[in-house]
Structure 1
Amino acid sequence: MNILIVEDEALLALELESELENAGHTIVGVAMSSQEAKAIIDREHPEFAFVDIHLLDGPTGIDVGRYLESKGISYVFVSGNLKRIPEDFAGAMGAIEKPYTMNGLENALSFIETFVRGENRGNIPPSLVPSPWLRRRQMTESRQQRQSQA
Structure 2
Amino acid sequence: MSSEKRLRILVVEDEILIALELESLLQDLGHDVVGVATSSAEALALGQEVKPDLAFVDIHLADGPTGVDVARQLAARQGVTVLFMTANAKRIPEDFGGAWGVIAKPYTERGVREALSYVMAGKPREPQEERTVTFLPFGVTAREGSPQAS
RMSD in angstroms over aligned alpha carbons? 1.8
The aligned residue for residue 84 of structure 1 is 91
Q: What pairs up with 1:124-139 in 2 under 5 angstroms?
A: 125-126=131-132, 127-131=134-138, 134-136=139-141
The alignment covers a number of residue pairs equal to: 132
Of the three residues 20, 29, 48, the one matched with 2:35 is 29
Cα distance in 2, alignment partners of residues 69 and 103 from structure 1 = 25
Return the offset for 1:19: 0.6
The aligned residue for residue 79 of structure 2 is 72
Return the offset for 1:105: 1.7
Aligned residue type for 1:65: A
The structure 1 segments of at least 4 consecutive aligned residues displaced by more than 6 Å after TM superposition are none
Closer, same or farther in 2 for the Cα pair 1:48/1:42, shift >3 Å? same
Aligned residue type for 1:23: L
8 Å Cα contact 2:118-2:125 kept in structure 1:
yes
Residues 89-133 of structure 1: per-residue CA shift (max 9 Å, x gap): 101001011012212222222222222xxxx654474232122xx
The aligned residue for residue 94 of structure 1 is 101
Tell me the TM-score normalized by structure 1: 0.81
SS in structure 1 of the partner of residue 83 of structure 2? strand
1:61 and 2:67 aligned: yes
Over alpha carbons, which structure has the higher Rg?
Answer: 1
1:7 and 2:13 aligned: yes
Higher helix share: 1
Aligned-pair identity in percent equals: 49
The aligned residue for residue 141 of structure 1 is none
SS in structure 1 of the partner of residue 11 of structure 2? strand
Structure 2 regions of 5+ residues with no counterpart?
A: 1-6, 144-150
SS in structure 1 of the partner of residue 55 of structure 2? strand
Tell me the TM-score normalized by structure 2: 0.81
Structure 1 regions of 5+ residues with no counterpart?
A: 139-150
